[in-house]
Structure 1
Amino acid sequence: MYFYAARQPILDKEKNLYAYELLFRDSIDNVFPEIDGNEATSKMIEASQFNMGISDFTGNKPAFINFTLDTLNKGYPEMLTTEELVVEVLETIKPGKKLLSLCKALFEKGYTLALDDYEHQNVWAHFYPYIKIIKVDWKATTVEEIVQIKKAIASFDHIQLLAEKIETYEEYNQALELGFELFQGFFFAKPEMIKAKNLSPSQMAMAELLYETSKPDLDLAAITSVFERDVSLSYKLLRYANSAMFKRRSEISTIKQALVTLGFAELKRFIGLMFATNANPDKPSELIKSAMVRAKFCETISADAKGNIQSSIAFLTGLMSLIDAILDEELTSVLEKLPLTQEIKDALINKTGALSELLSLVEQLEKANWQSCNELAEGLNLDKANVAKAFNEAMSWTDEQLSMAQ
C-alpha cells in the first residue's frame, strides 16, 4: 500500500537543507477537513512503522511531523527516534498544563519540539524552555507581530524562528533581516534574479545531449561526438559506466563502449544527473532534487496517462521545468537557447497539452494540494495508487542518484 506524502524542505540561512516537513494521507481523497489531525497523524505513524522508513522520505534529515494533543498524549512521537523527528505541536492545541507536561517530558527524553503557526500569547512563555523552533506563517503575520515574538523570546537563545510560506527571494531576504534562521516555502524554486546570459560551453554540450536523448531513436554518432568535444563530460561518463553499482567484469575504456553498454535508459539518467548537479552549483540542493523528482515522476507515470506521451520526452520536460530557477533567467529566454522539441516548449511556456497536465500534477503533489491532485489525476485517466507509487519512487530514486554523485 502506498501513502500519499509530500516532503516540503526547510532550509537554513545558507539555503542548505535542514529538515523536511512531512505531510501524509492514505489517499488523495483524504483532504482536511474530511479527516481530523488525530487520524492524519495516526496514519503517518502507521506508514512510517509498517510501510516505509522515515529516512526513505527524508534522506536521513529530521522530519517535522504534526501532532495533536491526543496523539501526543498517546505517546506517538516516541515511536520515532529523537534523531529522525521534530515534534510539531499543532496551532489548534490550546496551551495548558497537560500540554506543558507532555512537552517537558518529550524535551527531557531528547526530542526537538516546534510550535506550528505561532500566534503570541503570554502563556506560551512557560513552554519556551522546552521549545527549539517557533514556526511563523509569513502570510498571516505582520512585521509588528514578529517583533513582538522576538521580544518575548529574547532571553531564550536556544529558540530559532522558522518562516513558513516563503514564496519569493524578496520574502526570504526580508525574513532574514528580521532574524529568522530557518525557511519553508518554494522561494528557491523561482529565479533569484532575472538576467540574460550565455550558456557555458559545458552547458551547451549538455543541452545537445538532452536534445539527442529526447528523440525516439538515438543517434549514437551524434552523441559520441558531443562527448568527445567535452573532456570533463567524457571523464564523468567513463567513471559512471565503470562504477561499482553496475558490477562490470571488464573495464570500459571508450566513449562508444560506454554508451552501448549503458543503454538508452541509463544514459538518459546519467545525462539528467549531470545536468541537474552541474548546471548551477550555487543553487540550493533542494532545487536540483525537485527537478529530478519531477523528471522521474513524469517519466514513470507517463506510460499510464492519456495522450500517448513518450517517457523520454516526459522525463526531459520534468527536468527542464525548473531551468529558469536553476539558471536564474526567464524561462522563455533559456528555452530559446536550448534545442528542445516544440512539444516540450509548449508544455513549459504555453502550459498546453498532456505534458503540461503532468507537470501540474507533480507541482500539486509537492505542495500537498490533494484535492487538486485528485482532479488532475482523474483528468489524465490515472489510477490514484499509481500516482502515489510513482511519486514515492521518484523521491527515493532522486535521493539515490544524488548520493552516488557525492
Structure 2
Amino acid sequence: MATSHLPDRMSTTPLPEGTPQVCVARQPIMDLKNQVFGYELLYRAAFGDTSWAGGPGDQASARVLNDALLSLGLETLTSGKFAFLNVSHQVLLQDVVTVLPPEGIVVELLENIPATPEVEDACRSLQKRGYAIALDDFTPGCPAEALLPYAKYVKIDLLSTPPDQFAPLASRLLKSKLRLLAEKVETAEALKIASQAGCTLFQGYYFCKPTTYARGTMAPRKLAYLRLLAALNRPNVTVGSLEEIIKQDASFSYRVLRSANSAAFGLRQTVRSIHEALILIGQDRVRKWASIWAMAGMSDGVTPELVNITILRARCCELLGQSSTLTQEGSDHFLLGLCSLLDVILGKPMNLALEDLPLSTETRAALLGGDNPERHILDAVTAYERGAFEAAANAAAHGGVDADMLPDAYASALKWVWSLARSQAA
C-alpha cells in the first residue's frame, strides 16, 4: 500500500488562503474489550479567530465538516474507525452532514437541539439514507425523548446523571435496542458501574490511569523492551551501536527493513541490511521507530490505544519543542511524550518506571510533575488532546510555544502516526 512520506518537520495540507485554522482533536470511544470503536471529534475556532466564537455551534459544526476534514482527511482523524461528529440545530436542518458518506459516520445531535417537527423530519431522512444518529447528554424527560426512534446510540453522562437514575435509565433505553455510550468515564470503578448498567461503549480516560501498581519483578518481556528503549536512546549512540541494538530483536530488524522498503520513501534500491537503512533513511528516524516498537512491546495487558496516544504525544511534543523559546535545541521532547504514560504501561510509579532510562534532567523532572518548560509543553499536548483548547494555549505559552502552533502540530502528528501505521501494514 502506498503511503505519503513521513515528515521530519510540520506539514499539513494547506487550505485556501484566508481560511482560519480549526482546532481539532479526537477522543477515543472504547468498547467492552478495551478496543477503539471510534473517535469523537472535538473542535473549535483557532486561537485568535473571532469569526465564530460561539463554540461548537452552527458555523463551527459546518466548519469542521469542511476545513478540518479537508485538511486532514477523515481516515487520518479516526484511523479508519467511526467518527462521531457533533451537529448543531441549523447544520442538521441544512443537511450539511450528507457531504460525507454514511459509512463510518455517527451524527451526534447536541443536547440543546429542540425536538421540532423539522428536526424529526431531518432525523428520519438521515436514518433512511443510512446515517447512524447519536443523542448527546441524554437525560430522563429531555426533549430528545422524541428523537429516540431515529437514534442508534445514546450517550449518558456518568457524572451528571444521579447514581439512582443511571441504571433505571439505561435499562429503559436498552429495551428499545439502543446502544448505550457512557461519557466521563474516568476511573475503573466508573467503567464497572457503566458496564454493569448495560453500556457497551465508553468515553473518558479511565484507561490512561493506573489501577494498581504491580509488585515484585517486571515480566521478562517488558524488562527486555525497557532495556532496549534505554539502549536506543543513550546519548551519542553511534550508527554501529544502534545497528547492533536493533539486531538484538528479530522483529525490530524485520520492521526496519519493511519500513525502509515501503513506498513511503520511494528509494530506488532495495534496502537489504540494517546498516543500509540507517544510512539511507537516517539514524534519528530509525531510532524513533525502534523506540515506538519497544514501547509497544512493553504494552501487554493494556489497550493498544494507550500506545497510540503516547506516539501521538511524542510527535506532537517534538514538533512543539522545535519552536519553543525556552527549551534547548535537541532536547528529547519525543521521549517526553513517548514516556508520558509509562507508569500505566509498566504498572509502576513513574519514578520507578523512569529509573533506567537515559533521560535529560529536564525531561525526567517534567515526567515527574516538575514545573519547567518541558512539563508545560506536555501539559499543552495532553490538554489539547482532550479538547481543553484554552488550557492548552495557556500551557503552551508557559512552555515558550505560540498557541497558534498547536493546531498544526497536532494535525501533523496525526498524519505522521497514521503514515507510520500504514507503512507497517504495507
TM over 0.5: same fold?
yes
Which residue of 1 is the match for residue 40 of structure 2? 21
Which residue of 1 is the match for residue 196 of structure 2? 177
How far 1:391 sits from its partner (Å)? 0.7
Identity of aligned residues (%): 28
1:379 aligned onto 2:393: no
How far 1:44 sits from its partner (Å)? 1.1
Bigger fraction of residues in helix: 1
Letter in structure 1 aligned against 2:205 = F
Letter in structure 1 aligned against 2:175 = S
Q: Tell me, yes or no, if the aligned pair for 2:115 and 2:143 is still in contact at 8 Å.
A: yes
Q: Tell me, yes or no, if the aligned pair for 1:364 and 1:370 is still in contact at 8 Å.
A: yes
1:72 aligned onto 2:92: yes
Q: Specify whether residues 190 and 108 from structure 1 end up closer, same or farther in structure 2 by C-alpha distance, changes over 3 A only.
A: same
* Counterpart-to-counterpart distance in 2, 1:123 and 1:151: 19
Equivalent residue runs for 1:8-47 within 5 Å: 8-29=27-48, 34-35=54-55, 37-47=57-67
Q: Tell me, yes or no, if the aligned pair for 1:24 and 1:43 is still in contact at 8 Å.
A: no
Which residue of 2 is the match for residue 112 of structure 1? 132
Q: Tell me, yes or no, if the aligned pair for 1:54 and 1:84 is still in contact at 8 Å.
A: no
Letter in structure 1 aligned against 2:320 = I
Letter in structure 2 aligned against 1:166 = V
Which residue of 2 is the match for residue 389 of structure 1? 408
Which residue of 2 is the match for residue 89 of structure 1? 109
Letter in structure 2 aligned against 1:59 = S
Letter in structure 2 aligned against 1:87 = V
Letter in structure 1 aligned against 2:24 = A
* Counterpart-to-counterpart distance in 2, 1:50 and 1:251: 35
Which residue of 1 is the match for residue 4 of structure 2? none
Q: Tell me, yes or no, if the aligned pair for 2:24 and 2:43 is still in contact at 8 Å.
A: yes
Q: Specify whether residues 337 and 128 from structure 1 end up closer, same or farther in structure 2 by C-alpha distance, changes over 3 A only.
A: same
Letter in structure 2 aligned against 1:103 = C
How far 1:172 sits from its partner (Å)? 1.0
1:223 aligned onto 2:242: yes
Which residue of 1 is the match for residue 3 of structure 2? none
Q: Specify whether residues 230 and 148 from structure 1 end up closer, same or farther in structure 2 by C-alpha distance, changes over 3 A only.
A: closer
How far 1:96 sits from its partner (Å)? 3.2
* Counterpart-to-counterpart distance in 1, 2:174 and 2:205: 29
* Counterpart-to-counterpart distance in 1, 2:142 and 2:316: 46
Which residue of 1 is the match for residue 210 of structure 2? 191
Q: Tell me, yes or no, if the aligned pair for 2:76 and 2:415 is still in contact at 8 Å.
A: yes
1:366 aligned onto 2:385: yes
Q: Which structure 1 residue ranges, 4+ long, deviate > 6 Å from structure 2?
A: 30-33
* Counterpart-to-counterpart distance in 2, 1:124 and 1:168: 28
Q: Specify whether residues 213 and 343 from structure 1 end up closer, same or farther in structure 2 by C-alpha distance, changes over 3 A only.
A: farther
CA RMSD in angstroms comes to 2.6
Q: Tell me, yes or no, if the aligned pair for 1:210 and 1:316 is still in contact at 8 Å.
A: no
1:352 aligned onto 2:367: no
1:140 aligned onto 2:160: yes
Letter in structure 2 aligned against 1:89 = L
Q: TM-score, normalised by structure 2?
A: 0.86
Residues 110-152 of structure 1, C-alpha deviation per residue, up to 9 Å, x if partnerless? 1100110011117655432211111011111123212232343
Which residue of 2 is the match for residue 3 of structure 1? 22
1:103 aligned onto 2:123: yes
Residues 224-271 of structure 1, C-alpha deviation per residue, up to 9 Å, x if partnerless? 443344444344444444445444455544444443343222212211
Which residue of 2 is the match for residue 62 of structure 1? 82
* Counterpart-to-counterpart distance in 1, 2:316 and 2:164: 42
The one of 275, 296, 299 equivalent to 1:280 is 299
1:153 aligned onto 2:153: no
Instruction: Note the residue ranges of structure 2 that are not aligned, 5 or more in a row.
Output: 1-14, 16-20
How far 1:104 sits from its partner (Å)? 1.3
Letter in structure 2 aligned against 1:322 = L
Q: Tell me, yes or no, if the aligned pair for 1:6 and 1:24 is still in contact at 8 Å.
A: yes
Q: Tell me, yes or no, if the aligned pair for 1:7 and 1:21 is still in contact at 8 Å.
A: yes
Residues 322-381 of structure 1, C-alpha deviation per residue, up to 9 Å, x if partnerless? 111222222122112434333322110132322111100001101111111221222233
Q: Tell me, yes or no, if the aligned pair for 1:13 and 1:182 is still in contact at 8 Å.
A: yes
Q: Tell me, yes or no, if the aligned pair for 1:211 and 1:341 is still in contact at 8 Å.
A: no
Q: Tell me, yes or no, if the aligned pair for 1:195 and 1:330 is still in contact at 8 Å.
A: no
Q: Tell me, yes or no, if the aligned pair for 2:72 and 2:411 is still in contact at 8 Å.
A: no
Instruction: Tell me whether 375-384 or 32-41 shows the greater mean CA deviation.
Output: 32-41
Residues 5-45 of structure 1, C-alpha deviation per residue, up to 9 Å, x if partnerless? 11001111111111110012230356997446112212212
Which residue of 2 is the match for residue 293 of structure 1? 312
1:401 aligned onto 2:420: yes
Q: Tell me, yes or no, if the aligned pair for 1:273 and 1:401 is still in contact at 8 Å.
A: no
- Aligned residue pairs total 405
Q: Tell me, yes or no, if the aligned pair for 2:375 and 2:399 is still in contact at 8 Å.
A: no
How far 1:195 sits from its partner (Å)? 1.2
Q: Tell me, yes or no, if the aligned pair for 1:212 and 1:219 is still in contact at 8 Å.
A: no
Q: Tell me, yes or no, if the aligned pair for 1:297 and 1:362 is still in contact at 8 Å.
A: yes
* Counterpart-to-counterpart distance in 2, 1:129 and 1:377: 45
Q: Tell me, yes or no, if the aligned pair for 1:88 and 1:113 is still in contact at 8 Å.
A: yes
Q: TM-score, normalised by structure 1?
A: 0.90
* Counterpart-to-counterpart distance in 2, 1:148 and 1:177: 12
Q: Tell me, yes or no, if the aligned pair for 2:229 and 2:291 is still in contact at 8 Å.
A: yes
